[in-house]
A and B are shown apart, each in its own frame.
Chain A
Amino acid sequence: MYPDVVVVGAGVIGAACAHALTAAGCAVTVVDRGAPASGTTAAGEGNVLVSDKAPGPELDLAMLSRRLWPALADELGDIEWEAKGGLVVATTEAAAQPLLDFMRDQRAVGVDAREVPAGLVHELEPHLTRAVTAAVHYPQDAQLQPVLAATALLAEVTRRGGVIRPHTPVSTVDTGRDGRVRGVRVADGVIPCGAVINACGPWAGDFARAAGVPIAILPRRGIVLVTAALPLVVRHKVYDADYVGAVVSDDAALQTSSVVESTAAGPVLIGSSRQRVGFAERVDAHVLRALARKAVGLFPVLATVPVMRAYGGFRPYAPDHVPVIGPDPRLPGMWHATGHEGAGIGLAAATGRLIADLVTGAAPVIDLAPFRVDRPAVLEAA
């Protein structure tokens, strides 16, 4: 049990960790070099998905998160939680069978996935292209507004006596003679603590290096297009089937697949691209074109809709595309919670819970071995 915990990073992952830790009775300070929820979280779409994950550790994490989010949403108030369900569609003959195979594997591990007969798909999505070759409905897929969620989690942390310190960069971690964490160093001194949670998202590798325990976390650029506000056009989170391929791919080149959905506020979001360009802040026109093309392909009616803006962010990933959640064996008291790539919003609830379990010594509800820090992909590549 570590009575005083410093969470570094006030994005949705750090906020969820702080929220779960304060619920477990820890005294928590959250520090961020900028404003809370202004980095990767502010550039997220708010996906809480099970549909895009193949059976394996990440799907286990997603299923746990999906069980936890509704209660959190109740507790937190308006975070635009919508259990609207996902609809994954194949639009070519070649993509149809792999989608159905993928669905069968997911069903075997308990995902609610239902093949939608050709005649019924337009009852679910009236404006969807007629060129659908297969469709699967995932009622568990949901959506929330990431910045509302993260800031509401942090507000609850404050209410419980936790401290949020924005605009407070951490330079390094202080250790005692016993080699354990005893504080984090900030501009005006040291914040003493027994445990540090590295929730720096794509910058988690930088912070780990500064703390003397490097881990391999890389940024991947993601761009989302936002249309003008519309009446309800898209009822579910609608994806084309090649999304599934893009998530697990290691290809440096640009990948896009349409994820199209209406938001509670009115605009339709079109995401998301995945591009490895380091921390370059650009919004490339060819990325925008690829996103637009796929969205118009899925929903031809969107062709005349104005695009208001595009926003980009950096998503953190480990070389093996599995999140990193657990203690750092090289530095007692140091914990990492990062590497969620484009799924961090959805996976935040489970990540917070698991970190709290680990820090307080409770038995985690799922097997955390696949997420451990001392795996070759995370340590050797760093």
Chain B
Amino acid sequence: MKVTVDGVPTVARPGQTVAAALIERGQTSWRDTRIGGRPRGLFCGIGVCFDCLVVVNGVPDVRACQRVLADGDEIRTQRGAEL
């Protein structure tokens, strides 16, 4: 299964969440906060904390730990508050 992460082609396994794929490729953060610009990645891992937000196929505010990857998904770092 092929997806892109910030434009870079990446291989992912079916059933993998966005967060699992990102951590597996060695990435620990994929968002920065809107006030302090602090890097954020996985925290609660079960959909509660909303820290792992990421842009999927152009839509921001997707929980990386909950979203299961689909073939062709475009994953992008979320910069603060995005529309």
Do any beta carbons of A and B sit within 8 angstroms of each other in the complex? yes
Can you list 19 A-B contacts (CB < 8 A)?
Answer: A228-B61, A228-B81, A229-B34, A229-B81, A230-B81, A230-B82, A230-B83, A231-B80, A231-B81, A231-B82, A231-B83, A233-B83, A266-B34, A266-B81, A301-B83, A304-B59, A305-B61, A305-B83, A306-B61
* Neighbouring A residues of B59 by C-beta, 8 Å: 304
Given contact pairs A228-B61, A229-B81, A233-B83, enumerate 6 new A-B contacts (beta carbons under 8 Å): A229-B34, A231-B81, A231-B82, A231-B83, A305-B83, A306-B61
Tell me the bound Cα distance from A304 to B34 in angstroms.
19
How would residues 291 to 335 of chain A score, 1 for a CB under 8 Å from any chain B CB and 0 otherwise?
A: 000000000010011100000000000000000000000000000
Chain A: interface residue total (CB-CB under 8 A): 10
Chain B interface residue count: which class?
Answer: under 10
User: A229–B83 Cα gap in the complex (Å)?
Assistant: 9
CB-CB contacts below 8 Å: A220-236 with B: 228-231, 233
- The chain B residue with its CB closest to the CB of A305 is B83
A230 and B79 alpha carbons, distance in the complex (Å): 11
Chain A residues positioned under 8 Å from B34 (CB to CB): 229, 266
A167 CB, min distance to chain B CBs, angstroms: 32
Give A304 to B82 CA distance when docked, in angstroms.
Answer: 11
**A301 cross-chain contacts in B, Cβ below 8 A:** 83
- C-alpha gap A100/B80 in the complex (Å): 40
Q: Using a CB-CB cutoff of 8 Å, which residues 57-83 of chain B contact chain A?
A: 59, 61, 80-83
Chain B residues whose CB sits within 8 angstroms of the CB of A304 once the complex forms = 59
Bound-state Cα–Cα, A231 to B83, Å: 7
Cβ < 8 Å to A, chain B residues 19-72: 34, 59, 61
- Closest beta carbon of chain A to B78's beta carbon, Å: 11
- Which residue of chain B has its CB nearest to the CB of A306? B61
CA distance A181 to B82 in the complex (A): 57
Q: Across the interface, which residues of B come within 8 angstroms of A305, CB to CB?
A: 61, 83
Nearest Cβ on chain A to B34's Cβ, whole angstroms: 6
| Distance between Cα atoms of A78 and B61 in the complex (Å) | 29
Closest to A301 in B: B83
- Of listed B80, B82, B83, residue having the most chain A CB within 10 A: B83
Q: Chain A: which residue is nearest B34 at the CB level? A: A229
Interface residues of A in 56-104 (CB under 8 A from B): none
Contacts of B82 in A (CB 8 A): 230-231
Tell me the nearest residue of chain B to A127, going by C-beta.
Answer: B83
Q: Which residue on B lies nearest to A267, using beta carbons?
A: B81
| Complex: A233 Cα to B81 Cα, angstroms | 11
Residues of chain B within 8 A of A306, CB atoms compared: 61
What are the nearest 7 A-B pairs in CB distance? Answer: A229-B81, A306-B61, A230-B81, A228-B61, A230-B83, A266-B81, A231-B81
CB distance from A377 to the nearest CB of B (A): 46
Task: Mark each residue of chain A from 316 to 356: 1 if its CB lies under 8 Å from any CB of chain B, else 0.
Answer: 00000000000000000000000000000000000000000
Q: Which residues does chain B contribute within 8 Å of A233, judged by CB atoms?
A: 83
Q: Output the residue of A230, A233, A266 with the most chain B CB within 10 A.
A: A230
Task: State A70–B82 Cα separation when bound (angstroms).
Answer: 32
Q: Which residues of B contact A231 (CB under 8 A)?
A: 80-83
In the bound assembly, the distance between CA atoms of A266 and B35 in angstroms comes to 10
A28 to B80 Cα, complex, angstroms = 45
Alpha-carbon distance A233/B82, docked complex (angstroms): 10
A228 to B62, CA, bound (A): 12
Which residues in A have their C-beta under 8 angstroms from that of B61?
228, 305-306
Chain A nearest CB: distance from B71 CB in Å?
A: 22
* B residues near A266, Cβ cutoff 8 Å: 34, 81
| Minimum CB–CB distance for B15 against chain A, Å | 25
**Least Cβ–Cβ distance between A82 and chain B, in angstroms:** 18
Cα separation A304 to B83 with both chains bound (whole Å): 8
CA–CA, A258 and B2, complex, Å = 42
Bound complex: CA of A343 vs CA of B34, how far in Å? 32
Give chain B residues whose Cβ lies under 8 Å from the Cβ of A230. 81-83
A98 and B59 CA atoms in complex are apart in Å by 39
CA distance A229 to B61 in the complex (A): 10
- CB B37 to nearest CB in A, in angstroms, measures 14
Q: Report Cα–Cα, A147/B44, bound state, in Å.
A: 31
**Chain A residues within an 8 Å CB radius of B83:** 230-231, 233, 301, 305
